[in-house]
A = this chain, B = another copy of it.
Amino acid sequence: MSARSPVEFYFDFSSPYSYIASEWVEAVAARHGRTVRWHAILLGATFQAAELKSPVSYPLKREYSIADFARSARFEGVPLQLPPSFPIPTQNAARVFWWLHAQDEARATAWAHAGLRAYFTRGVVLSDAAALLALCTQAGLDPAAAEAAWNDPTWKARLKTENDTAIAAGIFGAPTIVIDGEAFWGNDRKPQIERWLAQGPF
């Protein structure tokens, strides 16, 4: 088999559908000989560019979405509990991601899993500095270094660049999964993603 391009996985730490997809994307990619490259982005930035809001900000859609987050998680066999505060700003968790990414991509991916699971299964509110520091410690990071990173203009700028690049590529929501240049938006595009990976473009 020739080398295949990685699956690009764009997520926000506050996105339930990103969390659900984060639990299957690596296994699905691996079944088709692909790796996954993770990209922490901020829905706050993409929503502004696309004039969108969180699904829970709209009347009627709010109630449906809350039920659908839970049902979609059960459908995938993924534990999920809607956090006490939702949605939340996630720039600090995302800056820690990019700080780790510059050192070791695998550590950044591990942090992505740790953050998404903490928020969506244990209600760890990632926008709370004390909670985030405690999570860093649990995840094996130096909490003082992580805090310095999320306050560092370098990682603020890096996250902004990543958001701008995603928006320039047409990304407006999360998760967005890009394969061979083709964008799939949403956990619910899993069947199309599986067909693309197995059979190529359709």
Interface residues of A (CB under 8 A from B): 46, 49-52, 58-61, 63-64, 68, 71-72, 74-75, 167, 170-173, 183, 185-186, 188-189, 191-192, 195, 202
Contact = CB atoms under 8 A, between A and B. Distances in A.
Q: How many monomers of this chain does the complex have?
A: 2
A59 B64 contact: no
A114 to B, nearest CB: 28
Contacts of A188: 186, 188-189
Contacts of A64: 170, 172, 183, 185
Contacts of A63: 170
Nearest to A192: B75
A56 B173 CA distance: 14
